[in-house]
C-alpha cells in the first residue's frame, strides 16, 4: 500500500535502500577474504547506516513525529519497506557483493547529485553530505569490479555471472512510478530517466575495462520500491535485523 504522502514514501525509499544494503554489507563483517576488504565493507556499511539515520530521521519528521527513525527501521514489516529489489539480493560470493555494490553505487551517485539541487533544502543537505561518501564507495567498488573482472579466468567468470544475475534488478531504480513522478513534478527529486545516460556511460566504461559484457536486455524485475512485491529475501533480512527489538521491545544500551 502506498502511503498518502508521496514525499514520505520517497524518503522511505532512500532510507530503506541504504538500510537494507547497509545491513547486507555488514553481514560480511569478520568473513571477508582479507582484512582490508573486511574493513572496507564494514566502513561502507557504516556510511550507509549513517545515511539511513538522516533519511529515516527526516521521514519520521515528515510523518508528524508519530514514529522515530528507529521505529521505522526496526518495527515495520516487509510490506511497509520501500527498498529496491537490488539491495535485497543475497551477498553471494565476494564478487557478487561487489557487483551489487557497484551497480547500486553508480545509481546512488547520480541520484544524490540530482538531489543536491532538490527544492527541499533538507533533502539537498542530506544529499550533499552523502554524496561525498558515495563518491568514495563507487571508486572502490568500480576498481574492484575491474580488478576481478579483468583478473583470472575464475574471477572473470564469477563477475560475469554476478552481472548476469543482478542486471535485471537495475531497471527498477530507473523506472519512475507515481511517487517518483510526484517528486519530479515538485522539484524534490530528479527525473529517474535523466539519470540513466550518465549511469550507462559510467558502468559502460567500467565493464569494458573489466572485460565484462552487459546483458543485452532492459528487462526489469519490479515491486521493491513500491512495496508491491518484495523478494523473499527481504523478510529473511528483517528476521535478523529486527530480532532484538521484536524479542525485547524498547531494548537499548
Partner 1 sequence: MRPNVAQIWEWLDTVPDPEIPVISVVDLGIVRGVTWDEDTLEIAVTPTYSGCPATSIISLDIETAMLDRGIAKTRIKTQISPPWTTDWLSDKGKAKLEDYGIAPPRAAGGPARCPRCKSENLERISQFGSTPCKAQWRCCNCLEPFDYFKCI
Q: List residues binding partner 1 (CB under 8 A).
A: 36-37, 39-40, 43-44, 46-51, 53-54, 124-126, 128-130, 132-133, 136, 139-140
To partner 1, the closest distance from the beta carbon of 40 in angstroms equals 4
To partner 1, the closest distance from the beta carbon of 32 in angstroms equals 11
Residue 130 or 192 with smaller CB distance to partner 1: 130
To partner 1, the closest distance from the beta carbon of 167 in angstroms equals 26
226 close to 2: Cβ distance less than 8 angstroms: yes
DSSP 29: T
Residues 189 and 157: their CA atoms lie apart, in Å, by: 37
To partner 1, the closest distance from the beta carbon of 188 in angstroms equals 17
Residue 143 or 209 with smaller CB distance to partner 1: 143
Residue identified by cell 572502490 is 140
Residue 38 or 164 with smaller CB distance to partner 1: 38
Residue 122 or 233 with smaller CB distance to partner 1: 122
Residue 27 or 164 with smaller CB distance to partner 1: 27
Residues 34 and 236: their CA atoms lie apart, in Å, by: 27
Task: Sort 147 into a burial class: Cβ within 10 Å, 0-12 / 13-18 / 19+.
Answer: middle
- For residue 183, which of 114, 91, 133, 84 has the smallest C-alpha distance? 114
Residues 92 and 125: their CA atoms lie apart, in Å, by: 34
Q: Which residues contact 50 (CB under 8 A, 6 or more apart)?
A: 133
To partner 1, the closest distance from the beta carbon of 51 in angstroms equals 5
Amino acid at each position: 500500500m502506498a502511503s498518502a504522502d508521496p514525499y514520505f514514501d520517497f524518503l522511505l525509499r532512500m532510507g530503506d535502500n541504504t538500510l537494507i544494503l547497509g545491513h547486507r554489507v555488514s553481514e560480511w563483517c569478520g568473513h571477508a577474504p582479507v582484512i582490508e576488504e573486511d574493513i572496507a565493507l564494514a566502513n561502507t556499511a557504516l556510511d550507509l547506516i549513517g545515511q539511513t539515520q538522516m533519511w529515516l530521521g527526516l521521514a519520521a519528521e515528515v510523518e508528524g513525529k508519530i514514529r522515530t527513525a528507529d521505529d521505522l527501521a526496526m518495527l515495520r514489516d516487509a510490506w511497509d519497506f520501500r527498498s529496491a529489489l537490488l539491495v535485497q539480493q543475497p551477498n553471494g560470493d565476494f564478487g557478487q557483493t561487489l557487483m551489487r555494490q557497484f551497480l547500486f553505487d553508480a545509481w546512488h551517485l547520480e541520484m544524490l547529485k540530482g538531489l543536491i539541487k532538490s527544492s527541499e533544502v533538507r533533502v539537498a543537505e542530506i544529499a550533499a553530505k552523502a554524496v561525498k561518501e558515495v563518491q568514495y564507495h563507487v571508486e572502490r567498488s568500480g576498481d574492484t569490479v575491474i580488478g576481478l573482472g579483468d583478473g583470472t579466468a575464475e574471477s572473470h567468470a564469477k563477475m560475469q555471472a554476478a552481472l548476469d544475475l543482478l542486471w535485471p534488478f537495475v531497471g527498477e531504480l530507473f523506472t519512475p512510478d507515481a511517487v517518483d513522478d510526484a517528486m519530479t513534478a515538485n522539484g524534490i527529486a530528479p527525473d529517474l530517466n535523466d539519470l540513466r545516460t550518465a549511469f550507462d556511460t559510467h558502468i559502460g566504461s567500467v565493464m569494458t575495462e573489466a572485460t565484462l559484457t552487459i546483458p543485452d536486455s532492459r528487462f526489469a524485475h519490479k515491486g521493491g520500491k513500491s512495496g508491491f512485491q518484495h523478494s523473499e529475501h527481504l523478510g529473511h533480512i528483517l528476521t535478523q535485523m529486527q530480532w532484538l527489538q521484536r524479542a525485547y521491545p524498547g531494548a537499548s544500551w
